[in-house]
Amino acid sequence: MATMIVPNSIAFQLSANSLFFLFLIIFCSSCKTTYAFQGTKSKSFHHILHLNSLLQSAACNSSTQGLQHQKSSLQVVHKHGPCSPLHLDRAKTPPTHAETFFQDEGRVRYIQSRLANKSGSKADVKVTDVANLPAWDGRVVGSGNYIVIVGIGTPKKQLSLIFDTGSDITWTQCEPCLGYCYQQRDAKFDPSVSSTYSNVSCNSVQCSSLLSATGYLPLCSLSTCVYGTQYGDSSFSTGFFAKERLTLTPFDVFDNFLFGCGQNNQGLFGGAAGLLGLGRDQLSLPSQTARKYNTIFSYCLPSSSSSIGFLTLGKCKRYGSKSVKFTPLSTSIQDSSFYGLDITGISVGGKRLSISASVFTTAGAIIDSGTVITRLPPDAYAALRSEFRQRMRRYRMGRELSILDTCYDFSKYKSVNIPKISFFFRGGVKLTIPLVGTLYVANVSQVCLAFAANSDASDLAIFGNTQQKTLQVIYDGAGGRVGFGTKGCY
């Protein structure tokens, strides 16, 4: 997938030679390109960028700032990027832009229907059998773009797991697969060779807790508790509910960690071995490790797929810093898994948009690490798009890109000014979105505003991961708040 590293600006200075190489790259279907921009931050309400180079994204930029110098930190990488161990599997090709947005739409619809308690939400379904859960098409799952590597079992087995703030239960594929297991890069976890593995019994309190964490009633296989979890397009994982030793870092080891040992799994998880649940339910990782971390964690999503970010458990170095601004978690979101936000306004180029407060309060909003593009109420997006287009009227429009309807062709321009977009949250918090979170780049002639409209005013707004790039996002479950710090990683 072509991506764009945009620290703070955009402007293009293309010689005849560079244009020649640009078109070679764009029209070569086998090329994987990263557009790298460097510039200085405008003192006005615009980002000003200068085209520095066009870089191949085949190599991981391990020198980028990502992993914080803290004991309880893990590296975060894009699952399809060159820094990911999944990237080594050349049989798997990254999804196209259209496929990415198709997966994203599936996730968004699922989250919105779940929180609206509409018919067909996952809470209405029962786990029928450890080897039999309907997959429907089972082709895609919008379960997140970013992975971390953790250890499970004794001896420790290193596994690449997608981390997801919108999910609670952690699971991985296990041997033997009684139903079906998709292909993954790591060898599957084999509980029979671990000295610390044990199944959870059907009549235990832990088994009963699965209902709130997954939305599905657990069942039994003989005396063993059976879990099931299903995602936006009906991709799923089901298997034995168990306890095991979890190793996050050499300093952070937890015994009796409750997780799913998947025996029947289907969906495009990008070759990852499973999922790490960072939601708010009692079975999530933050809740199960609360004695040590007090349900506090933070992460920074890197600017591009060839850079490295971090996931830190517990208080980070910037936790009490004045550079981090906290907003209270919204009380309007009833689902125990999600982190709610109260959006109070949006500005473009320093101008506060005229949007009624009821536009944001009608359905509420959450922040989600797995949704790619931020979804806004129709009236809010219309106001954002109108002002953005007005300020960009000097530039030539480009072709729309799936759900993104405001795109530009910058191939003939030497310099480009991009108006800064800021979000306002309850508590007087103003967050200016980094430029890398403002634009989604397919190529130099298709650079799009990275926001989309919900289909209905009653649909939940979602603050997605594109807008979170390079920010340090701090989740303080104990304090009931979410914090934002700039320049968390590059």
Per the annotation, the verdict on 164 as an active-site residue is yes
Q: How far apart are the first and last CA of the chain?
A: 19
For residue 101, what is the enclosing H or E element? helix 97-116
Per the annotation, the verdict on 342 as an active-site residue is no
Q: Quick check: 363 and 459 in contact, CB under 8 A?
A: yes
Active-site residue identified among 104, 186, 281, 368: 368
Please say if the pLDDT value at position 187 is more than 80. yes
Q: What confidence tens digit (pLDDT) does each residue in 116-173 have?
A: 753 333 333 333 333 333 322 222 334 568 999 999 999 999 999 998 998 999 999 9
Mean pLDDT computed over 173-196: 92
Instruction: Give the residue with greater pLDDT, 128 vs 389.
Output: 389
Instruction: Give the residue with greater pLDDT, 71 vs 37.
Output: 71
- Report the predicted TM-score, pTM, of the whole model to 2 decimal places: 0.84
- Which residue has tokens 């797929």? 305
Taking the C-alpha atoms of residue 409 and residue 286, their distance in angstroms, rounded to an integer, is: 44
Position 49 scores a pLDDT of 55
Nearest residue to 488 (alpha-carbon basis) of 367, 366, 324, 370: 324
DSSP-assigned letters across all residues of 426-469? TTTEEEEPPGGGTEEEEETTEEEESEEE-SSTTSPEEE-STTTT
Nearest residue to 305 (alpha-carbon basis) of 34, 28, 22, 9: 34
Whole-angstrom Cα Rg for the chain? 22
- Domain at 47-89+96-115+139-485, CATH class: mainly beta
Mean pLDDT computed over 33-55: 49
Q: Which of 74-78, 150-154, 300-304 has the highest mean pLDDT?
A: 150-154
Active-site residue identified among 164, 186, 252, 459: 164
| Band (43; pLDDT cuts 50, 70, 90) | low
Strand partners, 230: 236
Mean pLDDT computed over 100-110: 88
Please say if the pLDDT value at position 30 is more than 80. no
Residue 276 neighbours by CB distance under 10 Å:
27
Mean pLDDT computed over 264-282: 86
Position 473 scores a pLDDT of 97
Q: Quick check: 412 and 459 in contact, CB under 8 A?
A: no
Average model confidence (pLDDT) across the chain = 82
| Band (70; pLDDT cuts 50, 70, 90) | low
Q: What confidence tens digit (pLDDT) does each residue in 314-353 have?
A: 998 888 788 899 999 999 887 778 999 999 999 999 999 9
- Which residue has tokens 């078109």? 23
Least confident interval from 11-15, 338-342, 355-359, 412-416: 11-15
| Band (483; pLDDT cuts 50, 70, 90) | very high
In the chain, the percentage of residues whose pLDDT exceeds 90 is 54
Nearest residue to 150 (alpha-carbon basis) of 225, 49, 253: 253
| Band (268; pLDDT cuts 50, 70, 90) | low
